[in-house]
Structure 1
Amino acid sequence: MKLRKKLIPFLVLTACLVLFCSMPVFAAELTEADVEAAVASQGKEAVTGNVFVWFLCAIAFLKVSQKIDSFLASLGINVGNTGGNMMAELLIAGRSLTGSMRSHGGGGYHKASSPGSAAVAGSFLSGGLAGAVGRQVQREAVNSATGYTEHSSIGNMLYQSSLNKGGDFANQVISNIAQGNYGQVGSIKGADAQKAFTSYMGINPGGGSSYDNVEIGGGRITGTETGSSGNRDFALYHADQYAAPTQGSYSTVQSVDGSTWYKQYAQDTVEKTPYTSGSGKVAYNESIVQKLPPAPQRKERM
Structure 2
Amino acid sequence: MKLKKKLVPLLVLAICMVLFYSMPVFAADLTQADVEAAVASQGKEAVTGNVFVWFLCAIAFLKVSQKIDSFLASLGINVGNTGGNMMAELLIAGRSLTGSMRSHGGGGYRKASSPGSAAVGGSFLSGGLAGAVGRQVQREAVNSATGYTEHNSIGNMIYQSSLNKGGDFANQVISNIAQGNYGQVGSITGADAAKAFTSYMGIKPDSGPAPSYDNIEIGGGRITGTETGSSGSQDFAMYNADQYTAPTHGSFSTVQSVDGSTWYKQYAQDTVEKTPYTASNGKVAYNESIVQKVPPAPQRKERM
TM range (shorter): 0.7 to 0.9
Deviation at 1:79, TM superposition (A): 3.8
Check 1:28–1:118 CA distance in 2 against 1; reply closer, same or farther (3 A cut): farther
Q: Is the 8 A contact 1:27 1:130 kept in 2?
A: no
Deviation at 1:97, TM superposition (A): 2.2
Q: Is the 8 A contact 2:96 2:133 kept in 1?
A: no
Check 1:298–1:54 CA distance in 2 against 1; reply closer, same or farther (3 A cut): same
Counterpart in 2 of 1:156? 156
Q: Is the 8 A contact 1:267 1:290 kept in 2?
A: yes
Q: Is the 8 A contact 2:194 2:213 kept in 1?
A: yes
Check 1:128–1:211 CA distance in 2 against 1; reply closer, same or farther (3 A cut): same
Deviation at 1:102, TM superposition (A): 4.0
Q: Deviations 1:137-189 (Å, cap 9, x if unpaired)? A: 00000001000011411111100000000000000000000000000000000
State percent identity of aligned pairs.
90
Q: Is the 8 A contact 2:23 2:94 kept in 1?
A: no
Rounded to whole Å, the distance in 2 between the matches of 1:279 and 1:24 is: 75
Deviation at 1:104, TM superposition (A): 2.7
Q: Is the 8 A contact 1:193 1:215 kept in 2?
A: yes
Check 1:225–1:279 CA distance in 2 against 1; reply closer, same or farther (3 A cut): same
Deviation at 1:273, TM superposition (A): 0.7
Rounded to whole Å, the distance in 2 between the matches of 1:48 and 1:6 is: 14
The farther-off stretch of 54-63 and 159-168 is 54-63
Rounded to whole Å, the distance in 1 between the matches of 2:9 and 2:45 is: 39
Check 1:198–1:118 CA distance in 2 against 1; reply closer, same or farther (3 A cut): same
Rounded to whole Å, the distance in 1 between the matches of 2:290 and 2:259 is: 38
Check 1:183–1:70 CA distance in 2 against 1; reply closer, same or farther (3 A cut): same
Check 1:99–1:260 CA distance in 2 against 1; reply closer, same or farther (3 A cut): same
Counterpart in 1 of 2:223? 221
Q: Deviations 1:247-288 (Å, cap 9, x if unpaired)? A: 111111000000000010010000011111222221111110
Q: Is the 8 A contact 1:28 1:128 kept in 2?
A: no
Counterpart in 1 of 2:295? 293
Rounded to whole Å, the distance in 2 between the matches of 1:45 and 1:301 is: 58
Q: Is the 8 A contact 2:17 2:50 kept in 1?
A: no
Q: Is the 8 A contact 1:140 1:155 kept in 2?
A: yes
Deviation at 1:38, TM superposition (A): 23
The Cα RMSD (Å) is 10.0
Runs of 5+ consecutive residues of structure 1 not aligned to the other structure: none
Rounded to whole Å, the distance in 1 between the matches of 2:188 and 2:252 is: 24
Deviation at 1:205, TM superposition (A): 2.7
Q: Deviations 1:86-111 (Å, cap 9, x if unpaired)? A: 97886576344214224434522111
Return the TM-score normalized by structure 1. 0.75
Check 1:97–1:265 CA distance in 2 against 1; reply closer, same or farther (3 A cut): same
Return the TM-score normalized by structure 2. 0.75
Check 1:247–1:26 CA distance in 2 against 1; reply closer, same or farther (3 A cut): same
Q: Give the number of aligned pairs.
A: 301
The farther-off stretch of 67-76 and 39-48 is 39-48
Rounded to whole Å, the distance in 2 between the matches of 1:138 and 1:57 is: 20
Deviation at 1:78, TM superposition (A): 3.4
Q: For 1:13, what is the secondary structure of its paired residue?
A: helix
Which structure's relative contact order is higher, taking Cα pairs within 8 Å and 6+ residues apart? 1
Deviation at 1:72, TM superposition (A): 2.7
